[in-house]
Amino acid sequence: MTMLPFLIPSPDISYFDLGPVRIRFYALFILAGIVAAAWITSRRLKKAGADSEAAVDVVMWAVVFGIVGARIYHVLTHPADYFFPGADLLRTLYIWEGGIAIFGAVTFGAIGIYIGTRRAGIPFLVYADALVPGLLLAQAIGRLGNYFNQELFGSPTTLPWGLQIDQTSPAFPPGLAADTLFHPLFLYELLWNLIGVGVILLASRHKAIGSGVALGTYLIWYGIGRAWFESFRLDPTELEVFGIKANIITAVIAAAVGITLIVIRNRRETAHPDAPLPGATGAIPR
């Protein structure tokens, strides 16, 4: 008797209408992630003795800049989708059609955080260290939105947890059989991010907030994971540099920045063990 695989079915819906307003599940999960990240950041800032009330204000700066950056990064790394003879360049602004990238969100979001923390009088690294566990949790929540959009999947697989993609979906690769199953990258990254939250808290449990260890660990953990997932992700229109996907290059750079940050901060701490690191305040709550 042949056993059927425990496949992950494709969702039947990706949105619902509330009167004249169309609500997309992707947007709801993104919003839920933002709320969770803001709450966790506020709690961590409060326990560290920093201004917890400023958490939401700074998050708003990060969200606005992050959305803009996420769209810019996606458009620039998928030029074939937007820049071709006869293309409507206004489509580069149609964010509701899908197409945002986490690396653009993190990069531009960091600029927003810098502006917000300057206005609030909070050192950047203090806020960043407080933020990253909640940020990684938010990214995990957001991956559920990818599931409802039938996106973020990998190469075909015969593994029992293969992801089913509707053949009518624009993301379905041409030339494959309708019953083809794919690696559920959204699920892999969701689980990776949840584990990463624990790794960040464990790595920074004896470090002062603002030490940069939490931020550095986030960059290393997510960079390594994302580079791995991107290696078998199906995204035929993504820009490649010397045959390497743009997202893999960015992920490696992120991990390298994280390693550099931790090394530099640890050297300063070793050279001056009795002096607090610039921006450090209190202990990061577990």
The string of pLDDT tens digits covering residues 151-193 is 899 999 999 999 999 998 888 998 899 999 999 999 999 999 9
Q: What is residue 237's predicted lDDT score, i.e. its pLDDT?
A: 66
Q: Is 267 annotated as a binding residue?
A: no
Q: What is residue 264's predicted lDDT score, i.e. its pLDDT?
A: 94
Query: Are 246 and 240 a contacting pair, CB within 8 Å?
Result: yes
Q: With a cut of 70, say whether residue 273 has pLDDT above it.
A: no
* Rounded average pLDDT over 199-226: 94
Residue 136 to residues 125, 219, 225, Cα–Cα distance (Å): 16, 10, 12
Name the pLDDT band for 139 (thresholds 50, 70, 90): very high
Q: With a cut of 70, say whether residue 284 has pLDDT above it.
A: no
Q: What is residue 272's predicted lDDT score, i.e. its pLDDT?
A: 60
Query: Are 251 and 224 a contacting pair, CB within 8 Å?
Result: yes
Q: What is residue 162's predicted lDDT score, i.e. its pLDDT?
A: 95
Name the pLDDT band for 3 (thresholds 50, 70, 90): very low
Q: What is residue 277's predicted lDDT score, i.e. its pLDDT?
A: 42
* Rounded average pLDDT over 58-69: 95
Query: Are 181 and 163 a contacting pair, CB within 8 Å?
Result: yes
**Helix 102-120 and helix 246-271, axial crossing angle in degrees, nearest 10:** 40
* Rounded average pLDDT over 17-46: 93
Name the pLDDT band for 7 (thresholds 50, 70, 90): confident
Q: With a cut of 80, say whether residue 269 has pLDDT above it.
A: no
Residue 260 CB contacts under 8 Å (≥ 6 apart), including other chains: none
Residue 125 CB contacts under 8 Å (≥ 6 apart), including other chains: 210, 211, 212, 215, 278, 279, 280
Q: With a cut of 90, say whether residue 279 has pLDDT above it.
A: no
Q: What is residue 246's predicted lDDT score, i.e. its pLDDT?
A: 93
- Tell me which amino acid residue 241 is: V
